[in-house]
Amino acid sequence: MTRRRTVLVTATFVLPVVFSLGALGRGRLLWPFAHYPMYSGLYGATTAITRAVGVTGDSLELPLPVRVEPAGLHLHVVIENARRQPDAPVRLTRIATAIRAEYERLRAVGEIDGPPLAAVRIYRDTIRLATKPHTRRVTEITRGTAP
């Protein structure tokens, strides 16, 4: 084997181990180098779900179609990152307004059916598990309206 090939093969095996040990030393999980539970576990007695709902002109709340992004886990991550920023209220309002704009864009091109929306509200549902009965608390995070 040539020297170049030997270095390449050695690096292929050594670098992942070095990166894994470095991540372990810093207490971080870096995806390809660590076991990754893919959100399969619950940690603690409570869990939170972030959801966006559309609000019609007569204040009726409707669930948004799944085609309106971000949704689900992506929405949760975006909202949690925005909540940690110094200008969180402004960012959250922009996110809600952008979700409404995406809904209206999809509705205009005929990809989704539904009434026009006056606003989008974003809620955080906090669910306490392992209680009798399970409890749920809903907190409105923000709302975005037509600019």
Could you read off the pLDDT of 6-16 as tens digits, one per residue? 999 999 989 88
Q: What is the pLDDT of residue 147?
A: 47
Q: What is the dihedral of CA 64, 70, 76, 77, to 10 degrees?
A: 180
Higher pLDDT: 145 or 80? It is: 80
The structure tokens 């019609």 sit at 56
pTM equals 0.62
The structure tokens 């084997």 sit at 1
- Confidence label for 47 from pLDDT (cuts 50, 70 and 90): confident
User: Which amino acid appears at position 14 of this protein?
Assistant: V
Question: What are φ and ψ of residue 107, in 5° steps?
Answer: -70, -40
Residue 135's DSSP bridge partners are 128
In this predicted structure, the answer to whether residue 101 has a pLDDT above a threshold of 90 is yes
Higher pLDDT: 130 or 42? It is: 130
Would you call 45 helix, strand, or coil by DSSP? coil
For residues 3-27, average pLDDT: 85
DSSP 8-state class, residue 87: T
- Yes or no: say if 96 and 118 are a contact pair by the CB < 8 Å rule: no
